[in-house]
Structure 1
């Protein structure tokens, strides 16, 4: 296997591990807020989409720090804010996928259950969002530094 593929697979593996941590935090927080897990009473029972968005904003902070420090440490920030603004915009755009799945389940299919919420948002939606975020983060947030072309090397 080439060095390039080993590097890409290593990045995907680390990205997946960081995503898992952020996802579990988001998953637990969503279910506490929307379904009352652990605390016994639901704080946002009638607002599952807002509960999902809030829980995933917490996961987003965890994911950013893991990606910056462990997944892509060899890709220094190209933006003054370390890529935070682009990271948040990409996360919010990618969040449309699981939120759309949750809204479809809740409002079109009229399914109101813990299982339906979690399968649609935390199952199908997160898989779609994971793929989109990996590509977009690598392309726009954690880019490789541009290497200058040396005039001597270019003429050879």
Structure 2
């Protein structure tokens, strides 16, 4: 049991970070999947156009969830810089989805919604591995000094 406890203590911040990343990712995935099907099946926009639209919306949600919850303990290097890098890296990750959907639809000739959704799930899975690694490396940097868990009370007046 001591070994397990030491292992948990050593990796607890990573475990918590992964759990938060997974939670935000799961919600973003549901947004992506719902919008992909809405655009592709209901609005008949085509699978690749639908994927781009769905990813744009789900990426925006994921940025704010990851910045202000998953990686809030990390250095904040500027909203503009982070948002740009986040979308750039998500654009690269989007290629995984585009390639799997494009291959399924145009190479294999499978145009049905189930095939598109399976291809999307595979693409999202591959893209997720890339995104987690790249967010930690380039977007949400390690804090150079400890970031307080609560905001300081100094300077706040309450006239009541």
- TM-score of the aligned structures, taking structure 1 as reference length: 0.84
Task: Extract structure 1 runs of 4+ deviating beyond 3 A.
Answer: none
Q: What displacement does 1:59 show?
A: 0.1
* Equivalent position of 2:87 in the other structure: 88
Equivalent position SS for 2:80: coil
* Equivalent position of 1:18 in the other structure: 24
- TM-score of the aligned structures, taking structure 2 as reference length: 0.82
Q: What displacement does 1:80 show?
A: 5.7
* Cα distance in 1 for residues equivalent to 2:33 and 2:25: 12
Aligned length: 139
* Equivalent position of 2:15 in the other structure: 9
* Equivalent position of 1:31 in the other structure: 37
* Equivalent position of 1:55 in the other structure: 54
* Cα distance in 2 for residues equivalent to 1:131 and 1:144: 19
In structure 2, do the counterparts of structure 1 residues 2 and 97 end up closer, same or farther at CA, with 3 Å as the change threshold? same
Q: Which runs of 5+ in 1 are unaligned?
A: 37-41, 148-156
